Structure 1
Amino acid sequence: MRRLIVAIGFLTRLPVPRIATQDGDFAAAIRLYPLVGLLIGVMVAAVAWTGSLVDPWVGALGGLVAWVAVTGALHLDGLGDVADGLGAAHGRRERLLAVMSDPHAGSFAVVAIGLQLLAKFVLLHLIAGDWRALVAIPAAARIGPLLWAGWLVPLKPEGLGAAIASAARTRDGMGWLLILAGGCVLLPWLVMAPLLIAGFAWWAKAKVGGVTGDVHGAGIELVETGLCLACAVYWAV
């Protein structure tokens, strides 16, 4: 329970009780990220479904606002930092890390975040009435960090990427993938989740060279959008 509270406090802006933590709790909380994703999904689904009773676009807007608000734009910030880093680095690793660490948002970050929000808004319009999908998507996307932490090399010796890499265990990732496989019985398009997670790992290794906290955040955002698209295509077909 202690580590779940730590995970909720980090990944969301929901109020959590103040508790005494032990060394390693913050990093080990990664094992419970998908559970926090379920909580995020429930809140997004509730707002989107309620709004869709008025109009699908109202549901999409409500769901998007809830998604950003409950996460505090944490992962959007990571996406923006990665976009800025790649846009300004020109293949230089030192420059990439320096730009990603800069708290200011550049033009690449603004464009990336704007496109991400627009994509989610349009896709939420298509799936806002499917509450099961909206609950499942944030949870499935947060399986990603458990696997990326094991697959990718941390780019900073000290930082979130390095911290959670030490706590990530293969059995946790495999366990959540088995649960995901069960979810595919009800939501067949969830089969895309492992492919999107693996695809992002390949991209991050090729373009960034490893993983940081920002890379984890960017990956969660992109996998969420990919799953929204997969759901929309499934229902359209």
Structure 2
Amino acid sequence: MNGPLLAVRFLTRLPLPHSVPDEGDFARAFPWFPLAGLPVGLCLVAAFFVGSMVDPWVAACVGLASWIFFTGALHLDGLGDIADAAGASHADKSRLSQVLADPHIGSFGVVAIVQQCLAKLVLLHALAAPGVTLSAPALILVPMIARTAPLGWALALPPLHKGLGTLFGSAVRWRDIAAWAALLLSASVLVAPALLIAPVVAWGWGLWLRRRLGGISGDGHGAGIELVETALLLALVLAR
């Protein structure tokens, strides 16, 4: 399977041809992660604007439901795992790897996921409020920009353990980041300059991961995508 198609299949629940990818396939797919944000954004926009014909809260609810459904809650799972690991390792850093490897969710993870969903719900409602002008391209750019950030984290941060995080670090190149950044930031200038805050948010999350956890993992990528998306929604709301 080619890189772009595998990136979309890996990060979404869209019905695409099934295959059994190997490590080489994943390596080729990683630089195309921002592209996977395009169908997510299109589905989000469709649900959001259909819901807005009824009520702002309906728009927010169906928009968020679409967002979660088409990503399979993949990144929310990462957010919950990182919250549990950060909470459990606060007093004993030796528990970090143990908690990250645990498939069960703890109280920190539950709170983080609920808070994240509430934040997106409230921000989407604010963008659907009467009198607010929101362009569809601005909303589509949010998941695309958020999925560009992992390219930078993979290069800048050491992997916490052997896995996809290690593979991603060896697969991406600075020219991949530069190309996507130039494309998406240029689009942001045209449709929603508020989205230019993205590099600062991505840098902040990378700094937190390095100082608190010591590196990056698949969960760190997923959590970061969620947090960058929420930060970009907040930026759109503040720029109304």
TM-score by length of 2: 0.93
- 1:2–1:19 Cα contact (<8 Å) kept: no
In 2, distance between residues paired with 1:86 and 1:22?
A: 31
Q: Deviations over 1:126-159 (max 9, x none)?
A: 2245422221100000011100000100010x21
One-letter amino acid of the counterpart of residue 177, structure 1: A
One-letter amino acid of the counterpart of residue 167, structure 2: A
In 2, distance between residues paired with 1:145 and 1:47?
A: 26
| RMSD between superposed Cα atoms in Å | 1.4
Structure 2: tracts of 5 or more residues without a match: 129-133
Correspondence for 2:173: 169
1:226 aligns with 2:231: yes
In 2, distance between residues paired with 1:19 and 1:100?
A: 28
- 2:141–2:184 Cα contact (<8 Å) kept: no
Correspondence for 2:31: 31
In 1, distance between residues paired with 2:81 and 2:22?
A: 30
User: Kindly tell me: are residues 23 and 155 of structure 1, through their superposed partners in 2, closer, same or farther at Cα, counting changes over 3 Å?
Assistant: closer
Correspondence for 1:148: 153
Correspondence for 1:60: 60
In 2, distance between residues paired with 1:116 and 1:221?
A: 8
Q: Deviations over 1:12-47 (max 9, x none)?
A: 111111347564111221111111101100000100
1:75 aligns with 2:75: yes
One-letter amino acid of the counterpart of residue 116, structure 1: Q
Structure 1: tracts of 5 or more residues without a match: none
Report the count of equivalent residues: 234
Correspondence for 2:7: 7
User: Kindly tell me: are residues 22 and 117 of structure 1, through their superposed partners in 2, closer, same or farther at Cα, counting changes over 3 Å?
Assistant: closer
One-letter amino acid of the counterpart of residue 120, structure 2: K
1:45 aligns with 2:45: yes
One-letter amino acid of the counterpart of residue 66, structure 1: S
Name the % identity.
49
